[in-house]
């Protein structure tokens, strides 16, 4: 019998266990909600990106079902062959209106939007200047582009400037940042990055995955939040987080979108969304515009919970968003904190390397518009008991 060529994987898994980084996938017994059953235990769920509760919103549900009835379950092709349905274009037009840009192209996911766009816009002669905490999909897109990648320390605009000063103007340059950083909840230094991009003539790209539906008027994102319309060349948003469905999009000029039709590999080589996804995303925009109280409740809950964790003495970093990390340092400790919370009825995922740097392991919390005050108070009480027991506070 031939030896198993994958035998090394068992050793790799053991190494993950030894470091406290081994993860077992938690399973939701029912739907994604603020209080839900996970691994057969009823918990307050502080780990989803379902900021506005749209995963189970009646309007989205109804539109998805209706689209499935009238248009079927699948698109049947990639966008560039036979997989562009009228409903896909309706969604793109509606998003462009919402984002106040000339055009929008929707991708299967935020990951595909970032990786596909960065690799389509830049090539081997170009330079990418990227915040060190940018999302993995940006990093992968940058690698696929084969451009030179220069990383600046997190939110350090002066360091980004020094890098740009060293890049000859003959090189095409992309300056890129997350709008909201997913593991820390802080915002990219966007106004300063706009100034920098204009001064050095670079392309500016912002990934608003966690800001879509959360920041800006009616959830239009960080560009709207900071009043930077017209100054960010490439805006990425997601339909998978606050929008409650699935997908990513790029908003910008008509030329940008048309080039992505021709060059972005996930657009060219991977099947488009089922009609139900596009229909539910269209409904999500409608709900953002007609139910502003959802956003109000999200921010009320955010202020309440963040203040509560801070008052207990946890290190919550520099978050400015509904994402509040509880930073403990050691990965083993973060996983234990998360496990003990779960036993008490609170699901807040422990996160370690490679998702965050070594020594910065944490439990990440995300509140939503649909959490009740009682649920959040219960979670704070559990954090107090467990955090005290483990010596974190």
Q: 47, 109, 130, 182: which is the annotated catalytic residue?
A: 182
Nearest approach in angstroms of CB 235 to ligand PLP is 12
Nearest approach in angstroms of CB 23 to ligand PLP is 17
210 among known catalytic residues = yes
Nearest approach in angstroms of CB 221 to ligand PLP is 12
CB-side exposure of 230: number of CA atoms within 13 Å? 1
Nearest approach in angstroms of CB 108 to ligand PLP is 8
- Token pair 């379902």: residue: 50
Structure-block tokens of residue 329? 């340092």
Smaller CB separation from ligand PLP, 210 or 362: 210
Smaller CB separation from ligand PLP, 144 or 393: 144
* Residue in the shown chain whose Cβ atom is closest to ligand PLP: 110
Strand segments, DSSP code E, in the chain are 35-38, 41-45, 103-107, 127-131, 148-152, 173-178, 203-208, 234-238, 248-252, 323-329, 346-347, 350-351, 361-366
Q: Do residues 203 and 234 touch, judged by C-beta distance below 8 A?
A: yes
CA 195 to chain centre: 25
The site for ligand PLP (CB under 6 A) is made up of 109-111, 114, 135, 137, 178, 182, 207, 209-210, 238, 240, 248
Rounded distance, CA 352 to CA 358, Å? 7
26: three-class secondary structure by DSSP: coil
Smaller CB separation from ligand PLP, 23 or 254: 23
How deeply is 340 buried, as exposed, middle or buried, from its count of CB atoms within 10 A (0-12, 13-18, 19+)?
A: middle
Q: 150, 154, 241, 306: which is the annotated catalytic residue?
A: 241
**Nearby residues of 80 by Cβ (< 8 Å), 6 or more positions away:** 261, 267, 268
182 among known catalytic residues = yes
Q: Which residues pair with 325 in a beta bridge?
A: 364
Q: 88, 210, 225, 306: which is the annotated catalytic residue?
A: 210
Smaller CB separation from ligand PLP, 135 or 360: 135
Q: CB neighbours (10 Å) of residue 271?
A: 14
Q: Which residues pair with 205 in a beta bridge?
A: 176, 234
360 among known catalytic residues = no
Nearest approach in angstroms of CB 185 to ligand PLP is 11
CB-side exposure of 276: number of CA atoms within 13 Å? 13
Nearest approach in angstroms of CB 378 to ligand PLP is 27
β-strands 248-252, 323-329 pairing: unpaired
- Token pair 């039709």: residue: 261
Smaller CB separation from ligand PLP, 178 or 186: 178
Smaller CB separation from ligand PLP, 51 or 342: 51
Catalytic residues: 182, 210, 241
């Amino acid at each position: 019998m031939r030896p198993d060529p994958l035998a090394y994987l068992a050793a790799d898994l053991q190494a993950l266990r030894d470091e406290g980084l081994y993860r077992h996938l938690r399973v939701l017994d029912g739907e994604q909600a603020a209080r839900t059953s996970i691994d057969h235990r009823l918990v307050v769920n502080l780990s989803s990106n379902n900021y506005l509760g749209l995963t189970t919103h009646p309007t989205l549900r109804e539109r998805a079902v209706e689209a499935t009835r009238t248009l079927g379950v699948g698109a049947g092709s990639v966008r560039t062959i036979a997989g562009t349905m009228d409903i896909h274009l309706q969604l793109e037009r509606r998003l462009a209106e919402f984002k106040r840009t000339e055009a929008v192209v929707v991708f299967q996911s935020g990951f595909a939007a970032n990786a596909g766009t960065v690799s389509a816009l830049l090539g081997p002669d170009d330079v990418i200047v990227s915040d060190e905490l940018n999302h993995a999909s940006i990093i992968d897109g940058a690698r696929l582009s084969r451009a030179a990648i220069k990383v600046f320390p997190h939110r350090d605009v002066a360091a980004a400037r020094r890098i740009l000063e060293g890049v000859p103007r003959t090189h095409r340059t992309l300056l890129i940042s997350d709008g909201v950083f997913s593991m820390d909840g802080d915002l990219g230094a966007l106004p300063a990055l706009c100034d920098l991009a204009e001064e050095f003539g670079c392309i500016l790209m912002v990934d608003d995955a966690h800001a879509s539906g959360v920041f800006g008027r009616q959830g239009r994102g960080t560009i709207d939040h900071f009043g930077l319309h017209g100054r960010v060349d490439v805006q990425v948003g997601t339909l998978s987080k606050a929008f409650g469905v699935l997908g990513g999009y790029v908003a910008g000029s008509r030329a940008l979108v048309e080039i992505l039709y021709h060059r972005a590999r996930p657009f060219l080589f991977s099947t488009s969304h089922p009609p139900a996804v596009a229909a539910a995303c269209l409904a999500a925009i409608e709900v953002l515009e007609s139910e502003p109280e959802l956003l109000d409740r999200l921010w009320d809950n955010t202020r309440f919970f963040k203040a509560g964790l801070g008052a207990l003495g946890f290190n919550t970093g520099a978050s400015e968003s509904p994402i509040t990390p509880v930073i403990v340092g050691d990965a083993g400790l973060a996983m234990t904190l998360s496990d003990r919370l779960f036993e008490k009825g609170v699901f807040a995922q422990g996160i370690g390397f490679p998702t965050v740097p070594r020594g910065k392991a944490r439990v990440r919390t995300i509140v939503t518009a649909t959490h009740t005050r009682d649920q959040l108070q219960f979670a704070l009480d559990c954090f107090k008991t467990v955090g005290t027991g483990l010596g974190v506070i």
